[in-house]
Chains A and B, each alone.
Chain A
Amino acid sequence: MKRRHTFKIFGAAMALAAMLASPVIAQDWTPKRPINLIVPSSAGGGVDTYGRAVGSALQEKLGVPVVIVNKPGAGGLVGSAEVASARPDGYTMLIAASGAVLLGSMFKDAPIDIFDSFETVAQIGDLVFCIAVPADSPIMTATDLVEAAMADPGGLRWAHGSRGSATHVPVQSLLNLNGISATDVPFQGGAKIRAAIIGEQVDFGVMGIQQSFGFENELRVIGVFSDARYPLRPDTPTFDEQGIETGNIGSPVTLYYPKGTPSDAVKTISAAMSEITAMPEFSEALASSGLTPKYRAGDAADAALLLIKEKAQPVIDELKQAAN
């Protein structure tokens, strides 16, 4: 009896300790030297903006320098592959448009698997895409677009970043789900897509919604690939609310550690990011580039990404089939 009592107390103490311990362990990992945060794209893009905002906020929180290292190439796969093979000691981290990296690795053979090669730290942002048309275009709404494409199968021309990328797949998904077709024209980079739309080279184009900011007179956003309106553009309707099914494929922006990184390091950064993404200063830093924070802890981030994978799979399969 007495023994049982002791056991109970012991058990309760253990539970209490565990309860207390989880935040304690999370704070336990204190980095002792600079952390390299790899951005697998050139400076200046959406992911880079996130990276710099995260870098300066983490630096303040952790008390060690966070060094931003841009490693562009192959749609983010070069930098991602480098982090995947880095020493898992907590001092090399990746910030990537995980949706873009995922789609890239689904479309072409890649040396990494975004689900298997990393420890997911947390999702900290979201790249949301939209369709825009030239300012003088007769297409006013998403429905107009679908009707125009239906009237002239394959006749409309549209601009995206590159095949199988995070700009191509959402639109292709829209076309497939609505049984319409149009001719795609790859333009490298958001600015070129934007110029092609403004110059009426194409009938419509897809871009990160933040890239339409400041061009309200030159082009018109007719729909957003998201289940909710974009916080910084509350007047722009989503495709969902216009009754056009798209699959809402976007690209989360996620922090990753190499596989095998100690879990206390992962937890410390994840907890820090949970606080940072709630800070108004962080939101403001992003808002000046048209971006917004979005926090999901590791498991939730993986689940959201898996959903994107499921929705993109048929589109990618069809693209691959068409290529062969």
Chain B
Amino acid sequence: MDIFHSLATVLSSPALLAWIVAAAMIGMTVGAIPGLTASAAIAMLSPMTFYMDPLSALAFLYVIGKSGRYGGSVAAILFNTPGTAASAATQIDGYPLAQKGMASKAMKVATVSSVIGDFTGDLLLLLAVGWLAAIALKLGPPELFSVYFVAFIVIGSVIGKSIVKGLISALLGVLVRMIGLDPITLDNRFTFGMFELNGGVSLISLMIGIFVLGEVFAQLSNVNRPIQNNSPSGLNENRALNRLTWQEYKPCFPHVFRSSAIGATIGALPGLGSAVAAFVAYSEGKRRAKNPDEWGKGALEGIAAPEAANNAVSGPSMAPLLILGIPGTTIGAILISVFLVHGIQIGPTLFLTSIELVYNLFAAGLIGIVCYGLIGFFGAARLGQIVQKIPTRILYPLIFLTAFVSAYAANGSLFDVWVMLIAGVFGWLMRKLDFNPAAFIISFVLAGGAEEAFRQSLRLSDAGVFIFIERPISALFLLVGAMVVIVRVRTMRRDATSLKSDRLSDA
């Protein structure tokens, strides 16, 4: 097996191991700081990795993604604020446990579940990826477009509380992506005569603006406060109460495995990501639980289910990224640019040109899981204490400065800094007016590839749009998309009727 060879390669390189450990710690820390996400950290750190060797650079960012998804649980449990959107479901049972003085126990459950979920996702990826890559060689623009189509459908159906604002956010993402040269005819679109816009809006600047500056602006209103004050009982807790026993964790296992499967499936679909996986896994877990009444009041299973799912996303989300070049998550979109910077072209031929790098990256991911697992199991509570003490008036100015450096360093372009600033104001407004920044970014990420694939397909086709039905694999994906729409409409109707009956019973 290639992976054992790769594990040996990675383990025998001290420098690489150091990067992985650093990534595990950075990921956990940014995950634990409310408002900062792993993708924001990756966007800010990616220019730095341009100067590292390709494997270290990719492993570093990949592991930050993994441990960041996990780190969010620390804030969710301790501060009742999700560190990342992916850990919002963890909060439901995590905070009640913390209130009972069992924060450490909750964090241990989160750690173990995240590790198991992450491992399961990575194993599925390893088993499937070679086989998928062989098929992917036969996939062309029509099939790619159909995959993008499904991705857009599923984003549309999970877009958040306000459907209208969610859709507008997604449309804006598509619109901003259209800026630049037309991919086929090279006509200028929305460039307003600015030469710098010919290449389009830089993803890294846009992301730093929306996710980092937007957050910093939002934090300006509560300057002198430390990150969170509402931590229960400080963390001076009873050790015995916080020991996690095998008997206690045993009932979590069915949930962990189910959630891992859910997370892995959602991860393999482009466009959804960890937050969706965590919520689907939580509600599915609660529905099937033997003790549904305890969920929401501090059930350990209620932490295990979403945490396993949000980390199981990590591995499988690499499949469409590496094999088809379709970024399923914002982290994936940045990883694409890092691959490109290091001269590695992703897509089906990646498995012909750089198979070793791919397996080494997977091996680094597995080691990264072990790292954040160990650090988290023994140190999550300590980390929570530290994060709690950082005054925002020191933290946010530092982040503000780093944002400028990163936006400039990515392409060495002052224009990109302006893009970031404008995106920052835009991101702040979106937050303020309850629009959906995540939907905006993921639409931006997907729209470029989708348009290109659609227009290439039309040029390849002798029969216009029918090429998407003529090709069996493409037709299959379109069918999946149509089914998702039907299921969605049905549940919406059912929800509407049940809502109506609720109202009737109220009356």
**A contact residues vs B (CB 8 Å cutoff):** 42-45, 48, 69-74, 77-78, 81, 107-108, 111, 155, 157, 162-164, 183-192, 194-196, 198-202, 214-215, 218, 323
CB-CB under 8 A from B140, the residues of chain A are 196, 199, 201
Tell me the smallest distance from the CB of B190 to a CB of chain A, in Å. Answer: 15
**In the complex, which residue of chain A has the Cβ closest to the Cβ of B347?**
A195
The CA-CA distance from A77 to B115 in the complex, in Å, is: 47
**In the complex, which residue of chain B has the Cβ closest to the Cβ of A191?**
B345
The proximity string for B residues 178-191 relative to A, scoring 1 for CB distances below 8 Å and 0 otherwise, is 00010111110000
A187 contact from B181, B195, B456, Cβ within 8 A: B456
Binds A, one of B105-113, B348-356, B427-435: B348-356
**In the complex, which residue of chain A has the Cβ closest to the Cβ of B456?**
A185
B137 in the interface (beta carbon within 8 A):
yes
**In the complex, which residue of chain B has the Cβ closest to the Cβ of A81?**
B195
What number of B residues sit within 8 Å (CB to CB) of A?
Answer: 37
Tell me the smallest distance from the CB of B500 to a CB of chain A, in Å. Answer: 50
The CA-CA distance from A187 to B325 in the complex, in Å, is: 13
Given contact pairs A71-B412, A191-B349, A164 touches B195 in the complex (Cβ within 8 A): no
CB-CB under 8 A from B141, the residues of chain A are 185, 196, 201
B100 in the interface (beta carbon within 8 A):
no
The CA-CA distance from A283 to B140 in the complex, in Å, is: 37
Binds A, one of B146-154, B284-292, B336-344: B336-344
The CA-CA distance from A186 to B454 in the complex, in Å, is: 12
Given contact pairs A43-B50, A78-B199, A188-B452, A183 touches B459 in the complex (Cβ within 8 A): yes
A198 near B349 (CB under 8 angstroms)? yes
Q: Which 4 A-B pairs have the closest CB atoms?
A: A44-B343, A191-B345, A201-B140, A73-B199
A108 contact from B184, B186, B340, B413, Cβ within 8 A: B186
Given contact pairs A71-B413, A201-B140, A214-B353, A188 touches B347 in the complex (Cβ within 8 A): no
A218 near B459 (CB under 8 angstroms)? no
B343 near A45 (CB under 8 angstroms)? yes
B411 in the interface (beta carbon within 8 A):
yes
B138 near A199 (CB under 8 angstroms)? yes
B186 near A185 (CB under 8 angstroms)? no
Given contact pairs A111-B195, A214-B352, A164 touches B459 in the complex (Cβ within 8 A): no
**In the complex, which residue of chain A has the Cβ closest to the Cβ of B54?**
A44
What are 12 A-B pairs with beta-carbon distances under 8 A? A42-B343, A43-B50, A44-B341, A69-B412, A73-B413, A81-B195, A163-B186, A185-B460, A186-B184, A191-B345, A192-B325, A199-B138
CB-CB under 8 A from A81, the residues of chain B are 195
A74 near B348 (CB under 8 angstroms)? no
The CA-CA distance from A44 to B50 in the complex, in Å, is: 11
A186 near B183 (CB under 8 angstroms)? yes
The CA-CA distance from A188 to B448 in the complex, in Å, is: 11
Given contact pairs A44-B343, A214-B352, A73 touches B139 in the complex (Cβ within 8 A): no
A48 near B343 (CB under 8 angstroms)? yes
B347 contact from A74, A107, A162, A191, Cβ within 8 A: A191
B186 near A162 (CB under 8 angstroms)? yes
The CA-CA distance from A77 to B199 in the complex, in Å, is: 10
A202 near B343 (CB under 8 angstroms)? no
A190 near B345 (CB under 8 angstroms)? yes
The CA-CA distance from A202 to B346 in the complex, in Å, is: 19
CB-CB under 8 A from B183, the residues of chain A are 162, 186, 188
> Other than the known A163-B184, A185-B460, A191-B347, what 9 A-B pairs have Cβ atoms closer than 8 Å?
A43-B341, A44-B343, A44-B344, A71-B412, A77-B195, A77-B198, A78-B196, A188-B452, A194-B349
CB-CB under 8 A from B198, the residues of chain A are 73-74, 77-78
**In the complex, which residue of chain A has the Cβ closest to the Cβ of B141?**
A201
**In the complex, which residue of chain A has the Cβ closest to the Cβ of B339?**
A44
Interface residues of B in 155-204 (CB under 8 A from A): 181, 183-187, 195-196, 198-199
CB-CB under 8 A from B342, the residues of chain A are 43-44
Given contact pairs A199-B137, A199-B138, A74 touches B199 in the complex (Cβ within 8 A): yes
Given contact pairs A69-B412, A81-B195, A157 touches B345 in the complex (Cβ within 8 A): no
CB-CB under 8 A from B137, the residues of chain A are 195, 198-199
The CA-CA distance from A42 to B339 in the complex, in Å, is: 11
**In the complex, which residue of chain A has the Cβ closest to the Cβ of B142?**
A201
Tell me the smallest distance from the CB of A128 to a CB of chain B, in Å. Answer: 19
The proximity string for B residues 463-498 relative to A, scoring 1 for CB distances below 8 Å and 0 otherwise, is 000000000000000000000000000000000000
**In the complex, which residue of chain B has the Cβ closest to the Cβ of A164?**
B186
Tell me the smallest distance from the CB of B176 to a CB of chain A, in Å. Answer: 17
**In the complex, which residue of chain A has the Cβ closest to the Cβ of B200?**
A73
**In the complex, which residue of chain A has the Cβ closest to the Cβ of B348?**
A195
The CA-CA distance from A195 to B138 in the complex, in Å, is: 9
CB-CB under 8 A from B50, the residues of chain A are 43
CB-CB under 8 A from A194, the residues of chain B are 349
**In the complex, which residue of chain A has the Cβ closest to the Cβ of B195?**
A111
Given contact pairs A108-B186, A195-B347, A42 touches B341 in the complex (Cβ within 8 A): yes
